[in-house]
């Protein structure tokens, strides 16, 4: 799946998880950039992404994410 | 609460546990978008966020029974394997009239302005989470609730069913309805983190060892759960006499005693406040009278770790935490050092890898552990015939670290215990400080 296909549904997930309809994801976005992005929200993001894209992320992959760009690249790689 | 409006849709995200005796700030934003957004804040950190939407119509109250109905007196102790069967539970619920009215009054909620639909549904969702699904040891993390109308009568029926369970994070998602099948008045989704009791140290009991601690004695401060419990069993399995000190967890202490019964050594569980120097001095008297001397003192206890930040709102709590945590090392060390066998005796202090890689929300914990290490290093200089060992284990699957992310790749306390004790046993260089993970 290419990144242009990944971004719209990922954006919708971010807006839903953080309850902010104005949120727009970007490659360099990290947790401190988003109000309320704590470990619990992170888990909700992961679970929602896995359900939406029908993928399963390993704990190493979850731990290895350093920004949203990494997340988009990981989803693009794993989703068909 | 807007006039002639009734709550119809609620979303609540619990971010961090709310505790008593902390002054939180509540912000209400009714301007940002349709509805109202409520945030409970501790300093700069949001503890809970809620969003309410409304529909037209005056809120309605219902008649309440004098006595409440809650089908379960004890919460369900579901195991992770139970979630594979996708459990569902049904029952009837009603809050007791006096308790309900007192709760609303204490929260400043005017029942005539709000009606009973929202408070009843939220109360019932809390009951369902803590008692039914996932039940015991649940952490309520989120609610999405649709309220179609007031409850037609109280008590009302409920049904809750598992939607999904993610074993990596312990995340339990469930769906519930309130009312009868033909007259559902509210429905919603609940997110909760399940923390089954198997994370405690008793889960796997070691087999009898080779007797390498036979004839020796140890005191473990903080022995009833997690790493302390694993160490207690390991030493008893090696034939030693262990006094396990604990402060509150009577049930865990009993379980640990039961688990130790078939092992060759002897476990004595002692309840008390190890941060109290007077109590530790009394314990020293007992050690002298009953054991003569100690071969090993393990300082493992630490207070539960809330999330704090270095800022004005948290400063007093940071200082209090450091004081209490440091006392849990300093008091036993000050009282018991003189009964440690010299040469040959060992003081093992459990620090943390957090000292090297500080988590952002744990400044108090990191400062306390660093201070405790300083105390131990200095004691080592003054007591050259005793071996001192500081362990900095990483994340372990214990009650203290069992958070959704904290549990990822966390190590079982049993394997950490084995590794650290090996290290302490091999430490023959008295007067030096051994550092291990």
Domain boundary among B195, B216, B234: B195
Mark whether B90 and B220 lie in a shared domain.
Answer: no
Q: Residues in chain B with pLDDT < 70?
A: 31-33, 196-204, 399-408, 427-433, 437
Mark whether B141 and B44 lie in a shared domain.
Answer: yes
Mark whether B132 and B154 lie in a shared domain.
Answer: yes
Give chain B's domain count: 2
CA–chain centroid gap for B184, Å, is: 35
Domain boundary among B180, B195, B210: B195
pLDDT of residue B429: 58
pLDDT of residue B21: 85
- Touching A: B residues 156-175, CB under 8 Å: 164, 166, 168-169, 171
B59 contacts B115 by C-beta, under 8 angstroms: yes
Q: From the list A21, A36, A62, which residue is nearest B15 (CB)? A: A36
Residue-wise over B125-151: b if at least 16 C-beta within 10 A, else e?
bebbbbbbbbbbbbbbbbbbbbbebbb
Q: Domain holding A48: CATH number?
A: 1.10.1200.10
> Chain A interface, mutation test: which of B142, B191, B360, B405, most A Cβ atoms within 10 Å?
B405
Mark whether B227 and B181 lie in a shared domain.
Answer: no
User: In angstroms, rounded to a whole number, what is the distance separating the alpha carbons of residues B57 and B6?
Assistant: 6
User: In angstroms, rounded to a whole number, what is the distance separating the alpha carbons of residues B353 and B349?
Assistant: 13
A18 closest CA partner among A46, A37, A31: A37
Q: Chain A residues contacting B, CB < 8 Å?
A: 19, 21, 35-36, 38-44, 46-47, 59-60, 62-63
Residues of chain A with C-beta less than 8 angstroms from the C-beta of B164: 47
Phi/psi of residue B382, nearest 5 degrees: -80, -15
Q: Residues in chain A with pLDDT < 70?
A: none
User: In angstroms, rounded to a whole number, what is the distance separating the alpha carbons of residues B132 and B126?
Assistant: 10
User: Nearest-CA distance from A3 to chain B in Å?
Assistant: 26
Determine the number of helices (DSSP H) and then strands (DSSP E) in chain A: 4, 0
Per DSSP bridges, beta strands B241-246 and B217-221 are parallel
DSSP state of B356: T
Q: Domain holding B28: CATH number?
A: 3.10.129.10
Give chain A's domain count: 1
List residues bridging with B92 in a β-sheet.
B157
Mark whether B173 and B219 lie in a shared domain.
Answer: no
Domain that holds residue A59: 3-78
Give this complex's ipTM: 0.84
User: In angstroms, rounded to a whole number, what is the distance separating the alpha carbons of residues B279 and B327?
Assistant: 12
pLDDT of residue B203: 56
Domain boundary among B168, B195, B222: B195
**Cα end-to-end span (Å), chain B:** 55
Helix axes A68-78, A39-53, angle to 10 degrees: 30
Domain that holds residue B217: 198-436
What's the pTM? 0.82
Mark whether B191 and B273 lie in a shared domain.
Answer: no
Over residues B39-71, the pLDDT tens digits come to 999 998 889 999 999 999 999 989 999 998 988
Over residues B251-309, the pLDDT tens digits come to 899 999 999 999 999 999 999 999 999 999 999 999 999 999 999 999 999 999 988 99
Residues of chain A with C-beta less than 8 angstroms from the C-beta of B16: 38
Other CB atoms closer than 10 Å to residue B64's CB: what's the count?
19
Mark whether B84 and B138 lie in a shared domain.
Answer: yes
B116 contacts B61 by C-beta, under 8 angstroms: yes
List residues bridging with B77 in a β-sheet.
B135
Q: Given its phi and psi angles, is residue B431 left (phi above 0), alpha (psi -120 to 50 degrees) or beta?
A: left
């Amino acid at each position: 799946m290419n990144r242009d296909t990944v971004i719209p549904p990922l954006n919708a997930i971010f807006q839903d998880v953080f309850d902010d309809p104005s949120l727009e994801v970007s490659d360099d976005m990290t947790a401190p950039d988003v109000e309320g992005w704590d470990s619990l929200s992170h888990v909700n993001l992961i679970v929602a992404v896995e359900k939406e894209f029908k993928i399963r992320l390993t704990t190493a992959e979850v731990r290895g994410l350093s920004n949203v760009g990494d997340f988009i690249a990981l989803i693009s790689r794993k989703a068909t | 609460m807007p006039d002639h409006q009734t709550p119809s849709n609620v979303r609540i995200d619990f971010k961090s546990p709310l505790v008593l005796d902390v002054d939180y700030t509540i912000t209400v934003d009714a301007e940002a978008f349709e509805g109202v957004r409520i945030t409970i804040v501790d300093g700069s950190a949001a503890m809970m966020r809620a969003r309410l939407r409304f529909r037209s119509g005056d809120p309605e109250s219902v008649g309440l029974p004098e006595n409440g109905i809650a089908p379960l007196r004890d919460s369900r102790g579901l195991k992770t394997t139970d979630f594979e069967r996708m459990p569902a539970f049904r029952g009837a619920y009603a809050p007791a009239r006096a308790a309900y009215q007192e709760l609303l009054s204490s929260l400043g909620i005017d029942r005539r302005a709000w009606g009973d639909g929202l408070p009843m549904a939220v109360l019932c969702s809390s009951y369902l989470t803590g008692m039914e699904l996932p039940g015991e040891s649940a952490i309520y993390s989120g609610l999405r609730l649709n309220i179609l109308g007031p409850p037609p009568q109280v008590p009302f029926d409920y049904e809750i069913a598992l939607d999904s369970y993610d074993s990596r994070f312990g995340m339990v998602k469930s769906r519930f309805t309130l009312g009868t099948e033909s007259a559902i008045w509210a429905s919603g989704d609940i997110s909760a983190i399940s923390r089954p009791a198997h994370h405690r140290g008793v889960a796997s009991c070691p087999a009898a060892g080779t007797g390498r601690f036979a004839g020796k004695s140890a005191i473990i401060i903080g022995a009833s759960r997690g790493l302390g419990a694993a160490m207690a069993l390991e030493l008893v399995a090696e034939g030693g006499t262990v006094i396990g000190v604990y402060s509150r967890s009577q049930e865990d202490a009993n379980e640990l005693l039961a688990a130790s019964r078939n092992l060759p050594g002897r476990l004595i569980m002692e309840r008390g406040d190890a941060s109290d120097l007077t109590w530790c001095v009394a314990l020293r008297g007992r050690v002298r009278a009953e054991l003569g001397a100690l071969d090993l003192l393990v300082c493992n206890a630490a207070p539960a770790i809330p999330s704090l930040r270095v800022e004005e709102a948290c400063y007093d709590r940071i200082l209090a935490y450091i004081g209490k945590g440091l006392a849990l090392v300093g008091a036993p060390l000050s009282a018991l050092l003189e009964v440690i066998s010299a040469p040959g005796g060992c003081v093992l202090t459990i620090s943390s890898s957090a000292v090297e890689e500080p988590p952002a929300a744990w400044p108090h914990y990191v400062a306390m552990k660093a201070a405790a290490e300083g105390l131990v290093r200095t004691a080592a200089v003054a007591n050259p015939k005793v071996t001192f060992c500081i362990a900095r284990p990483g994340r372990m699957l214990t009650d203290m670290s069992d958070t959704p992310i904290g549990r990822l790749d966390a190590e079982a306390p049993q394997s950490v215990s084995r590794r650290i004790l090996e290290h302490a046993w091999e430490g023959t260089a008295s007067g030096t400080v051994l550092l291990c993970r």
